[in-house]
Structure 1
Amino acid sequence: MEQTVEIQNKAAGVSRFIIVLTTVTAAIMELLDTTIVNVALNQMAGSLGATIEDIAWVITSYAIANVIIIPMTGFLGEYFGRKNYYLGSMILFGIASYLCGNSGSLWELVLWRFVQGIGGGALLSTSQAILFDAFPGKERGMASGLFGMGIVLGPTLGPTLGGYIVDNYTWGDIFFINVPICIVATILTIMYIPKKADEGKHRDKIKIDYLGILLLMIGIGALQYVLEKGESKDWFQSKEIAIVSLLALVGIVGFISRELNTDHPVVNLKVFANRNFAFSSIFVLVSGFGLFTSVFVYPVLVQRINGFTPYETGLSLLFPTLTILPLFPILGRRMSAGASPIPFVVSGIIIFAAFGFYSGTATTDMGRWDFYSMQLMRGLGTVLLQLPLINASVAGLKPNEFGAGISLTNMIRQLGGAFGIALANNYVAQQYAQHRADLVANYVPSNPLFTERFNAIKMSFLSRTGDAVQATAQAYRQLELLLDRQSYYLAYLDTFRIISIFFICVLPLVVLLRTKKKSAAEAAAAAKAAAESH
């Protein structure tokens, strides 16, 4: 308690403002990098000679690294000292960002994105703890509001900023912009962010579960590989997929067994014994699946099919999110006042399910503002799900379990996103093949609509070239491109609908959630735990 007061006294006036600026900027930067690459996937794929399916590893490697590091930030901060760990992560994030921008191959980029995710996970988790320590208890609501706005702005600004950079410069510059920010933030951290009095002094007493960490990395990494490559390698008909699947099973089962039986787990899985937490985790997983998958599929759809530039894509995401941004602090105050999260969770699920079906009606000629209402629904569903789900997750936990519970909640959300992107890639490939086969059946001379379209295209080319043979070949090529475009278009719409089906399937489980009104002391403990493990 005395340490916190001391930190708050040191963080008065200008110093407090700089701490707010540094921590919120670091969190925005980390979250921005989860989405900034989404609008550059086509350019990256073309530059690196990769398919859209393979280039998705640029996103999933970052998400997997976040999944691994987020639940470990608590003991890593305690082991190295929170300020030292924060500084090291900032420097690692900056170096990895520079190397991402200079990558010359897909797998080199994937490697450095993974390293960037390791550094970025700490920026998000530790920033909020530092920010909360700079404010006394009665002012932490304001600190939470500031940080919450940053959490919403980060993913929103990513596609817009990324789109502007890609349209005017090169895709590597979306990573280079992190470097000067990291340098300034590092200097400000050294100068203005104070250390706790006992930082790093108990290192000898801390035991790190190295085996648990190794099993977590093997299990999640192998499972992600199976999800990414299973479709292209014909699933278990491939010996490689069978072996990696076995490795994933051994890693995950071994990790669970290890964490439940060691005295010093890297992730406290025993909180799953709480029924409310266990069922809440299902909703968190699905919310992560819906959030990350929709933000992944949408930019590819509108750029490939509707002809949006990356910058236009970013703007089409930015304005709807800015519209619902004021709801975040309002919802935060309602949660702080003890409101039940269940009505908000139910509303969020229904709105997100409606968003998926509504997006499944998109047409190829829609412009930027035509997507506004769809993206507004996505943003509203996200706001109504994220903070209430954290509250629902910890509702039945003891105060000393809040940290582990919230840490696992964040990990599960990221895991849902990583799995969602991989599953979306496989589903798009599967549906593309199905729709292409269905459409090809209509590409026959006996179909009068096909003949009419073919002759119109052929005559158009013939009027320009005067060569009937060349015009015929060009007409077939044009129809092939149209067939390809239409098949992908239908596959993307199917993916939005499958997101809705996931939300509809989990909706009945809401009746199994239970919440109780927290006391003032429990609410304060939960807020503190959220700060230290977000």
Structure 2
Amino acid sequence: MSAVAASAAPARRSGAPNPWVIAIVVSIATFMEVLDTTIANVALRYISGGLGVSSDEASWVVTTYLVSNAITLTASSFIAKRYGRKRFYLACLALFTISSVLCGFAWNIESLIFFRILQGFAGGGMVPISQSILADSFPPEKRGQAFALFGVAVVVAPVVGPTLGGWLSDNVSWHWCFLINGPVGVLAFALVWFLVTESDEAKREREQIKRRGVRFDLIGFLAVATFLGALELVLDRGQTEDWFASNFIIVSATVCLLAFLFMIPWELKHDNPVVDLRMIWSRQFGSCFLVMMATGAILIATTQFLPELLQSFYGYTATWAGLALSPGGIVTMTMMFVVGRVTNVVQPKYLIALGAAIVAFAMWDLTRLSPDVNFGYFVWSRVFVGLGLPLIFIPITTASYDGIPKNKTDQASALINVARNVGGSIGVSIAQNTLAFREQFHQSRLVEHITPTSPAYHQTLEATVTALKARGLSATQAEQGAIAVIGQTLEKQVGYLAYIDVFHVLMLISLSAVPLALILRNVKTGGGAPAGAH
């Protein structure tokens, strides 16, 4: 460890707050921010009903937050260095708290989406700066455990979100999924204000940036924002707009492509790019980036679709749909501390590959879906996910920083978080489109068997008519009711088969992370997260 690296984490000064107190404070704020990626998932039915919009429109409450969050992440490194980590962190925390309260008072879907975008912009700067504060507060040999605590906030929050959001929606109001951030945000702001101090190294770095006159890559930032925003429009609205039969989708896709083609040469030639593309194209960091995208896709997509499945096909309340995910969160919390120690002795690539394989198994297990499965079936599926995710999250932090210069670690942290959010947004879109497409496919296939010449159909119809007549219905009413019952049964079968296909796709996404993990280089173990791992 060099003298410079060691100075990034000096010994605790006399009278300075205990670093574990600081870790808990920033983890609370980060937990609150990441929680909002999923807290509204089980409340989408309440939101769509309360604001009078379709479920597709309500889903924008989730995806717009993820994308705006990812956009800000690309700029967070420079802004924090230029204006001060603590100052930037407090500004983000204040805006996040205010916009959360405004979400709770939203009067229509447009206002809610706008405030969610503000929330995402504010939240985007909180996660990487939290990592910077942790790296400054702990010596290198303690950073692995500190990042494990931070990892609990980042990985467990999306799992706790549906449980809390479900209970609030069922017992109070969906508005409180957002209003709850008000008092928590005020408390976190006060604690950060009084307890967190900026390191001397960070202050020197800020002064150097000022002296050198380094400017923010505004054009690159706008290109990245345009690319991600247009991509989200295409993925979210493609199915409902009939893809490229729609002029809206054609225009959005064209804007997305042009922004991407402009972004590449601009960022490659810029001295201080908002996104270091050379870093992403490297074998080590690029593989970590893709693995984190896959992880985000699984985490966010399953956290949105499992509650939806439980409410739509099994009659669960929002609270019970959320509770089905809770045991997985407890397992994740426990595993984060275990993995924090294991990474000191086992190469990250093997842990990541094992974690991805376990998550793939969990997705495969969900393909055994049937009308007869019980609450425990869904609990165990989340337990498997809870075992696998920490094996990815902590080791990938170590692996992604390997070979990254110290002055690039802030951007490395931001890009890894961008990968998680963009992957989550893409995962939700892939799952939504797979569900819609396969519902159409299975509907057309199953309807082929419901014909006047089908003996099975006639037997089912006659048995259902007989049963309804026994309940006192007339012959005409019984026949109409039997046809309706068969139609409802068909609709449920179509839904089950379509969800099974979604879980097959998510399984393949998770499996794709295994070879990506195995091509990673061996890294030096024993020191937790590397120095300057922001």
Calculate the TM-score normalised by the size of structure 1: 0.90
8 Å CA contact 1:70–1:410 kept in 2: the answer is yes
Aligned counterpart for 1:276 among listed residues 274, 278, 284: 284
Tell me if 1:503 matches 2:510.
yes
* Aligned mates of 1:457, 1:110 — CA distance in 2: 46
Q: Secondary structure at the match of 2:239?
A: coil
511 and 27 in structure 1: CA distance in 2 versus 1, 3 angstrom threshold:
closer
2:431 maps to 424
Q: Quick one: distance in 2 between partners of 1:398 and 1:19? A: 26
Map 1:67-466 to 2 at 5 A. Answer: 67-196=70-199, 198=203, 203=210, 205-335=213-343, 337=344, 339-458=346-465, 462=469, 466=473
Encode CA deviations 1:192-239: one digit per residue, 9 max, x unaligned: 333456386555734111111111111111111111122222322222
Tell me the SS of whatever aligns to 1:358. helix
Give the stretch that moved more between structures: 67-76 or 446-455: 446-455
Deviations along 1:326-345, one digit per CA (max 9) or x if unpaired, are 2212211222x253112112
Q: By how many angstroms is 1:402 displaced?
A: 3.2
Q: Which residue of 1 aligns with 2:34?
A: 31
- Letter paired with 1:279: S
Counterpart CA distance in 2 for 1:147 and 1:423 is 29
Q: 1:138 to 1:353 in 2, by over 3 A?
A: closer
Distance in 1 of aligned mates of 2:296 and 2:135: 25
Question: Closer, same or farther in 2 for the Cα pair 1:256/1:312, shift >3 Å?
Answer: same
**Distance change (3 Å), C-alpha of 1:341 and 1:459:** same
> Residue type of the partner of 1:12?
P
Query: What per-residue deviation string (whole Å, max 9, x for no partner) do you get for residues 262-293 of structure 1?
Result: 11211222213532222332222222222222
Tell me if the contact between 1:458 and 1:472 (Cα under 8 Å) persists in the aligned partners: yes
Tell me how far apart the structure 1 counterparts of residues 196 and 518 of structure 2 sit (CA, whole Å): 45
Kindly provide the amino acid, as one letter, of the partner of residue 154 in structure 2: I
Q: Identify the range of structure 1 (187-196 vs 293-302) with the bigger mean alpha-carbon deviation.
A: 187-196
1:432 shift after superposition: 0.7
- Matches of 1:374 and 1:3 in 2, distance apart? 41
AA matched with 1:265: P
SS at match of 2:285: helix
Contact map agreement 1:64 1:221 (CA 8 A) in 2: yes
User: More displaced, 105-114 or 27-36?
Assistant: 105-114
Distance 1:97 1:203, change over 3 A: farther
SS at 2:75 equivalent: helix
For residues 430 and 390 of structure 1, what CA distance do their matches in structure 2 show?
Answer: 36
2:363–2:507 Cα contact (<8 Å) kept: yes
| 3-state secondary structure, aligned to 1:443 | coil
Q: Does 1:492 align with 2:495?
A: no
CA distance in 2, matches of 1:149, 1:512: 27
CA contact (8 A) 2:285 2:401 kept: yes
In 2: Cα distance, 1:45 partner to 1:514 partner: 47
| In structure 2, C-alpha distance between the alignment counterparts of 1:73 and 1:514, rounded to whole Å | 28
What is the distance in 2 between the residues matched to 1:131 and 1:285?
24
Identity of aligned residues (%): 30
2:147 and 2:394 in contact (8 A); partners too: no
Distance 1:107 1:250 in 2: 27
Deviations 1:274-316 (A, max 9, x none): 3222233222222222222222221111111111111112211
Separation in 2 of the partners of 1:157 and 1:506?
25
Shift in Å, 1:433: 0.7
Distance apart, 1:498 and its partner CA? 0.8
Equivalent pairs, count: 524
Which 5+ residue runs of structure 2 have no aligned equivalent? Answer: none
In 2, the alpha carbon distance for the partners of 1:290 and 1:162 equals: 20
TM-score w.r.t. the length of structure 2 is 0.90
Is 1:517 matched with 2:520? Answer: no
Between 390-399 and 492-501, the greater mean CA deviation after superposition = 390-399
**Structure 1 stretches of 5 or more lacking a match?**
none
Secondary structure in 2 aligned to 1:170? coil
2:69 to 66, 70, 85: 66
Assess, with a 3 A threshold, how the Cα gap between structure 1 residues 210 and 439 changes in structure 2: closer, same or farther.
same
The answer as to whether partners of 1:223 and 1:244 remain within 8 angstroms in 2 is yes
Instruction: Give the C-alpha shift of residue 173 in structure 1.
Output: 1.1
Question: Aligned equivalents of 2:256 and 2:465: distance in 1?
Answer: 53
CA distance in 2, matches of 1:388, 1:110: 35
Q: 1:11 to 1:309 in 2, by over 3 A?
A: farther
**TM-aligned CA deviation for residue 97 of structure 1:** 1.0
Letter in 2 for 1:220: L
Structure 2 counterpart of 1:230, one-letter code: G
Shift of 1:93: 0.8
CA distance in 1, matches of 2:419, 2:156: 21
Task: Name which of structure 1's ranges 448-457 and 477-486 shifts more when overlaid on structure 2.
Answer: 448-457
Contact 1:341–1:388, Cα closer than 8 Å, also in 2: yes
